[in-house]
Structure 1
């Protein structure tokens, strides 16, 4: 996955026990974070060490610091229900001292990054090549001065949950792995993370697609050719070219047709109320903000010519691609789009030529 805060950080991911985990340690720099021994080379290998207060808010959108329960579920998944061999399965197969390597059976690749601690008052680094310690988001039952974390050691094949001070004079800085929230998924083509939402019997992307493609297969552009607008609205995609390519949506997702858009409208109290319930709660020209009752979060990303030479409709209109082509005499050869207008509570279908560029929401197969 790619950290949207910077293009310089991307992380391998792995699915274990039905959940998606980062398979590398977080390396995003926070004020109270450390490279082991103050050596930036160690950050490149092992990631950074974080105090708990920063770790809780560190993960990118769609990802979270795992709870104690989520770590325990991981231990069960890789240890066949037991913690006795879980450490061996989670540890990398190299880099641990004194034959303490694991099998890395599931690709989690836990590295012996050690930890930083002020426990003895000297703010020292400990355990490089001998131990891995990962924060959880769960405070201990004894109070707010300590939290749970996962501990792996070179001397044992087991994994265990430990308690670490988080405040006062004896606090710790540990490694961080993030877990994907259950209502998000990762597009494996470019590592971007998207929220998804179930409405009625359908599962929709709850954010606009922002897939650029690669090389000669690059497709779409940012509104006004401004990259910040891709981060806000996703890309605008030429309708006909996008439909012909057939692969713009991530694996397991597809471009919706008008029948599927109608099914969505029916599930949100009808087409006459669709804009009210599907529009995001901010970002629209007044009175266009909706109540986003179902979490679809439609954004007013506008439209453009195929080349991106001109764009209009930002903050006033959302047009979403449908792969349905009009067959009547009045609009034959044109394509329908689902349209939300800032001044209307209802949704509509607007037909465009195939060279018009609009936003894309993908629907789960």
Structure 2
């Protein structure tokens, strides 16, 4: 009835890892909202397209099916039907792991089979889900075998009607809560804004973290004015948990990369604020001290000290109870 044009043997991720991204796409034509799953450079719909105006057929369960001539126009503006390469990369990225059967079922949902045309009966109705593949050279679909947990790229008969999953290009800046034009990070937890910069495909905060200020004891001289000016002191364990979702405390290697080109460092901001040294404080006008996530010796964390006037840097191991600043970082992908 139809022939295979290639086989992509796949196994899906463990269910706990197969989670939805925060991105939600709205179809302005009818107001429907679609949750998405991030994979590579794309966000994938986790539910079938449900734009009924262009649907060729709706099954008894209410799921719309589309013929190839409508695929290009069916997806919302800014999204498209994935092509062969995009489906293949998605399979390699997401469809690997020991629990392939349960995860194939999870992604396929209630989708089953395809139709030969508007009047035909469903083909291969109970054991596989078929999703449209954009291909100018034929009518193809990605088939997910919900009985065995396999996937194949297949060629369908001319006029075949399938379900559609749309994809869109990811906005990596937006996913990190960064305004790309202004290069400002907005922490969704408290609404505070931080200037950021791009270094070697990493986004770095260029001012110190101020999140969760609960006491003047986290401020230089226990004065909240200095928390607003310099940021908040964190002990080592708190520092590892302080960054917003999608961001993290840089490790020792990331700090090494950050400080390679010292001419590009803003010494006026990174070399000030000092540290909280037990009951005392480090020189706030000439030094700034920062945690890394790396720990070499018990009860210590690797720290980086930036000296503003000398434009020098010292890397040391500090007791985990000391109060140092935090600069968060994230990979731009």
TM-score by length of 2: 0.43
| Structure with greater Cα Rg | 2
